[in-house]
Amino acid sequence: MTSAFSIFPSRRGVVATLGLAALGVLSLFVGVSPLPPGRLLRDPQALQLLVVSRLPRTLAALLAGAGLAIAGLIMQTLARNRFVEPATAGTAQSAELGILLVTLLWPAAALPLKTLIAAGTALFLATAHRLPPTQPFLVPLFGIVYGGVIGAAATFAAWQAGLLQFLSIWTSGDFSGVLRGRYELLWLAAAMVAVAWVAADRLTIMALGRDAAIGLGIDPARMMQLGLVIVSVVSALTVVVVGMIPFVGLVVPNLAARLIGDNMRATLGWVAFGGATLVLGCDIAGRLIRFPYEIPVGTVMGVVGGILFLWLLLRRS
Amino acid sequence: MIRIENVSLRIRATPILRDINLTIPKGGVVALIGPNGAGKSSLLSLIARLRPLQQGTIHIDGLPVDRTPGPELARVVAILRQDSTVASRLKVRELVGFGRFPHGRGRLTAADLEIVDQALARFDLTDLADRFLETLSGGQRQRALVAMAFAQDTDYLLLDEPLNNLDMHHARELMRSLRAIADTRARTMVIVLHDVNQASAYADRIVAMQNGRIIADAAPLDLLTPDTLETVFGFRMRVEIIAGKPFVLHHL
Ligand SMILES: Nc1ncnc2c1ncn2[C@@H]1O[C@H](COP(=O)(O)OP(=O)(O)OP(=O)(O)O)[C@@H](O)[C@H]1O
Ligand SMILES: [Mg+2]
């Protein structure tokens, strides 16, 4: 619990900000259609490309990355378990099932409504089960099985309705379809990060256990609800707008815990920052590796995140 | 004043506490003793509203514990649990700082930081303040938890076996601190102790429990007699009076 103004104490913060800014600029000028910075001033079409496609894509990657990393942090704090994240605990799969159902039953529904229903489904399915926090490996194991069952239900429903291609769009995160007017919902993820910032002390205390929380005057049930709402909204938003991106919510909070600790007031800024950097970096890499073809960010992140996670696990012992 | 009236507790039809009536006036040190499973921790959990009340009422300074808003009660009573484990990677200073949470809801003022520093100094933690809890020894960690309860700075402090893991020096220091705070600031301490001699040396009053009941409640000199001790713990032990305090030779 340090002062509220020390989100980024020290020079490290400045270096990180400059690094992310450089990545952001790079992201604006890397892609299938060439966009040399010099042409922006002369060519209105180039400016158009920047404003309609590259800028939204860059912002979407930053917002989704920050949101997912915070969602993972909150999930790990509330479950008191370092091995859970939205993609491995059934939340993302629940959101998928939610939009699939609304697409089937109400095809004309607008994107915000779909998101809302997806978030609702995720929230409902997240509260549908309770697990003792005393079993460190049971929680993620259960989450994977639970997510698998829900994912199977979604696949079956999509197959029956001939919507399997749509499902694969949601399951594999991809920013190539992000255009102006189609990503703005993601700003809600930034709002969720702000909510998490306000509740940071309470969430940290929740990690001390139910009794410690009550002893300090916190209502554990209400904090749990708040956390689940944040996690569900962020998961649903990213699944609806860009598709599932694995490992961000797992790797970034673990790294922050290793380096800074579990005091959310101190780590939250770094976690949001790290998530944004990682996702944007993987998106840029996906655009460059097989240029001019793109590799979806979900795939790149699967590899990069997997390697990072293994490294964290092996370094642990 | 803590007023406990007709409190009973059952867990799955097993009676854990049976019709407890107890009044603890403000200011002073009360020791709670009794064999394992007597219900000491259960009673403390009820007072600190960690468990829902099933039967009876508990008031602290007139506030009913089951109906007073959590944040308000957190400024009146603090509890140290018997089996607190902290899995979070927090620094000692951060943990102790969270004891101030009920007062500022997260914002630490200069006065808060002062209280945190005092609590750290009182429990010999100043040098360890920037270490992660997981790197401390068991006794150091226990002291950090006690310091956190202290930093909460409430009129009523409930401590469940605070001497666990402490060496003789730190156990003595803790008991002396409790005594000093009770005397100088009119604070009320309820402490579960297994070492009856600590109770004898520092408590004003000892409450003995057994099998969910209070079976004795008196000043140390009146309670720590071979007969009463035998009823509570089930075996006979010698008691000597040294410097006006009963001294129980329970290990012989
Ligand atoms: N969750 C529970 N389920 C079933 N029985 C319980 C539960 N919690 C406590 N008990 C029982 O309640 C009784 C009182 O327990 P409590 O923890 O209050 O004892 P205690 O006096 O604090 O003992 P100790 O000195 O060992 O700490 C014990 O017999 C215990 O087995
Ligand atoms: Mg006990």
Report if residue A112 sits inside a domain: yes
Percent of chain B scoring above 90 in pLDDT: 91
Backbone angles phi, psi at B246, to 5 degrees: -70, 140
> pLDDT higher for A46 or B193?
B193
Q: Tell me the average pLDDT across A283-288.
A: 92
Instruction: State how far the alpha carbon of A234 is from the alpha carbons of A77, A171, A190, A300, in Å.
Output: 16, 15, 9, 21
Lowest mean pLDDT among A201-210, A285-294, B213-222: A285-294
pLDDT band at A95 (very low <50, low <70, confident <90, very high): confident
Question: 3-state class of B68 per DSSP?
Answer: coil
| Banded pLDDT at A3 (limits 50, 70, 90) | very low
Question: What is the Cα–Cα distance from A52 to A179, expressed in whole angstroms?
Answer: 6
Q: What is the pLDDT of residue A316?
A: 66
User: How many structural domains does chain A have?
Assistant: 1
A12/A31 Cα distance (integer angstroms): 30
Judge whether A262 and B89 are in contact, CB under 8 Å. Answer: yes
H or E segment to which residue B169 belongs: helix B168-185
The whole-number pLDDT of residue B111 equals 93
Predicted-complex ipTM score: 0.91
The confidence score (pLDDT) of residue A317 equals 58
The alpha carbon of residue A198 is apart from the nearest alpha carbon of chain B, in Å, by 10
Domain region containing A235? 10-314
**Does the bond joining A292 to the residue before it have cis omega, within 30 degrees of 0?**
yes
- Residue written as token pair 């006065």: B111
- Give pLDDT, residue A1: 42
Closest in A1, A208, A263 to B108, CB measured: A1
B68 lines ligand 1 (CB under 6 A): no
Q: Judge whether residue A112 has pLDDT over 90.
A: no
Above 90 in pLDDT, residue A107? no
Using an 8 Å Cβ cutoff, are B62 and B90 in contact? no
- The percent of residues above 70 in pLDDT, for chain A, comes to 89
Least confident of A126-135, A171-180, A181-190, A215-224: A126-135
Ligand 2 midpoint to CA B52 (Å): 17
Strand partners, B9: B17
Does A1 fall in a domain? no
Q: What angle do CA A189, A194, A199 make, to 5 degrees?
A: 120
**Residue B204 above 90 pLDDT?**
yes
pLDDT category at A9 given cuts 50, 70, 90 is low
For the ranges A88-102, A117-131, A228-242, which has the lowest average pLDDT? Answer: A117-131
Cβ distance of B48 and A214 shorter than 8 Å: yes
Q: In what order do the strands lie in the sheet with B28-33?
A: B77-80, B156-160, B188-192, B28-33, B205-210, B213-218
Between B99 and A143, residue with greater pLDDT: B99
- Tell me the average pLDDT across B145-173: 95
pLDDT at A132: 55
- Contact assessment for residue B122 and residue B147, using Cβ atoms and an 8 Å cutoff: yes
Crossing angle of helices A55-79 and A10-29, rounded to 10°: 140
Q: Read off the pLDDT of each residue in B82-107 and give the average, rounded to a whole number.
A: 90
Does residue A3 fall inside a structural domain?
no
CB contact under 8 Å between B101 and A201, yes or no, is yes
Distance from CA of B51 to the nearest CA of A (A): 9
Average pLDDT over residues A141-156: 79
Give the pLDDT confidence score for residue B206 in this predicted structure. 97
Does pLDDT of A131 surpass 80? no
- pTM, full prediction: 0.89
Q: Which residues of B touch A (CB under 8 A)?
A: 45, 48-50, 69-75, 78-79, 81, 84-91, 94, 97-102, 105-108, 132, 152
Nearest to A261 among B73, B74, B89 (CB): B89
Sign (positive/negative) of CA torsion B209, B213, B218, B224? negative
Give the contacts of A267 (CB within 8 A, at least 6 positions apart): A73, A253, A256, A257, A260, A261
Distance CA A247, CA A267 (A): 18
Specify whether the CB–CB gap between A234 and A67 falls below 8 A.
Answer: yes
- A2 pLDDT above the threshold of 50: no
Q: What's the token pair of residue B173? A: 């220091």
Q: Which ligand minimizes its atom distance to the CA of B32?
A: 1
Tell me, what CATH number does A279's domain have?
A: 1.10.3470.10
DSSP string computed for A178-228: --TTSSGGGHHHHHHHHHHHHTHHHHHHHTT-HHHHHHTT--HHHHHHHHH
The answer, yes or no, to whether any atom of ligand 1 lies below 6 A from the CB of B38, is yes
A44 CB contacts (<8 Å, ≥6 apart)?
none
Report the pLDDT value the prediction gives residue A126, as an integer from 0 to 100.
66
Q: How far apart are CA A180 and CA A53, in angstroms?
A: 6
What span, in angstroms and rounded, lies between the C-alpha atoms of B247 and B220? 10
What's the confidence (pLDDT) of residue B174? Answer: 92
Mean pLDDT over each residue of chain A, to the nearest integer: 83
| Residue A5: predicted pLDDT | 41
Ligand 1 atom nearest the C-alpha of B38 is 21
Domain membership of residue A5 (yes or no) is no
Pick from A60-64, A144-148, A228-232: least confident? A144-148
As a whole number, mean pLDDT of residues B170-198 equals 94
pLDDT tens track for B9-26: 999 999 999 999 999 999
Answer yes or no: is A2 within a domain.
Answer: no
Q: Is B45 in the pocket of ligand 1 (CB under 6 A)?
A: no
